[in-house]
Amino acid sequence: MKKYIISTVLVIASIFGRFAVVEVGARAYLAYVYLLGNYKSIATYEIKDTQATADPINLGWGKPNTTNYYYMFDEDSRIALQTTYHFNNAGLVSHHEYLPDKTPNEYRIGSFRLFRG
């Protein structure tokens, strides 16, 4: 019984020790990346989509039918990271437009309707 307790304590101590090492390493990395000035400034540019095929239903968190350009600049004002993402008619990040109405030959497993009051 005593050997079982010692083994259990050693396993728990090794788990906590590994967690502490990983946590310290992750926090040191994040401090290096974000706090020591690797990326100084951020810019976002938004363009309204004039070629939208569906009416906005405003389901997601973004402005419907917009394309956003996101830039991160380094210390020398060069672009360090650039990404482009599109909010569809529902305000979700997707290039696919979502229509709330069901077409005649469409079968849906789970369906919901958006009510505006």
* 17-21, 88-92, 101-105, 113-117, range with the lowest pLDDT: 113-117
Q: In what order do the strands lie in the sheet with 66-73?
A: 41-48, 66-73, 79-87
The CB-side HSE value for 113 (13 A sphere, CA atoms) comes to: 5
- Local confidence band at 10 (pLDDT 50, 70, 90 cut-offs): very high
- In percent, how much of the chain has pLDDT > 90? 16
The residue among 3 and 13 whose pLDDT is bigger is 13
Q: Specify the pLDDT at position 9.
A: 92
Q: Specify the pLDDT at position 103.
A: 74
Which amino acid, residue 23? E
- Local confidence band at 117 (pLDDT 50, 70, 90 cut-offs): very low
